[in-house]
Structure 1
Amino acid sequence: MPSKRTSVSHSTPAQLGANSWGELRRRSSDIPWVLTGGFLGTLARYFLGFLGEPLWVLVAINSVGCLLLGMIFALRRSDRLTASGYALWGTGVMGSFTTFSGVMVLLVAPSAGVLTWLVVLASIALGIALAWLGQRLVGRGTS
């Protein structure tokens, strides 16, 4: 895991502005971290998928992912995680571990009923709450 602090800005790819090509070129050294994290997150997601009913496994994976990503984001924002660390854990691991497309597939499946819709809506609310909680848990020790 990268531990060296850098002077790289706190921006995530979604926050990059119109002049993002220079920033992307500068961060190309993070690609191996994203790939490694993607591999690890994908493996975890794949094996956890065997543990139960797809809808409930998906809710559990996305809920845990929201909590962890909230914590990872807060660590990055407070400078306790490097840009490379965020690339590994945030973009790589959490990006491949959680899913939005899996939720959509469940919603359009012929077997999707009212319960499926209610669970998905509840999991969105839960995800928001857990992402907030993750940031607060990490943020306790910061000014």
Structure 2
Amino acid sequence: MKARSFRFFAPFAFALSFSFLSAAPARAAGPDPDPWFGKDKALHFSVSAAIAAGGYGVGSAIFDARGHALLLGAGLGVLAGAGKEALDATGYGDPSWKDFTWDLIGVAAGLAVAWTVDLLVRGTGDTHPLFTAPAPGEMKSLGPSGLRVVF
């Protein structure tokens, strides 16, 4: 009879003790010194987007293939964001993974906008493929200087 009553009251005893322990007042945490949606995050996003879109624009003037232009824009945007965070880590600021995350989101957004505008302006075709590079050995002249890029 005692074992049966213990099994009956054990859940109630556990619930009662848990409710008393969880009713203790919690300490309020201070404000986050580096919030996800702070003013500096908007700057990281917009500057990274502008650098990536500008890099894509330069790449689309140099390369026929959009894939190469995307790589150039992404590389410049990520390099700028990583460089800024590395500079912050050496004592010139406060390094933050949240800042770098917003840099990466900005790079993706800048490339998406630049790529979309490029598709609307130039379209797709044999001379401007969607992603792929031209066939190996094809060359493109970059002007009167005679500089050529081999893919």
TM-score, scaled to structure 2: 0.34
Bigger helix fraction: 1
Q: Which has the higher contact order (CA 8 A, sep 6+)?
A: 1
TM-score, scaled to structure 1: 0.35
* Larger radius of gyration between Structure 1 and Structure 2: 2
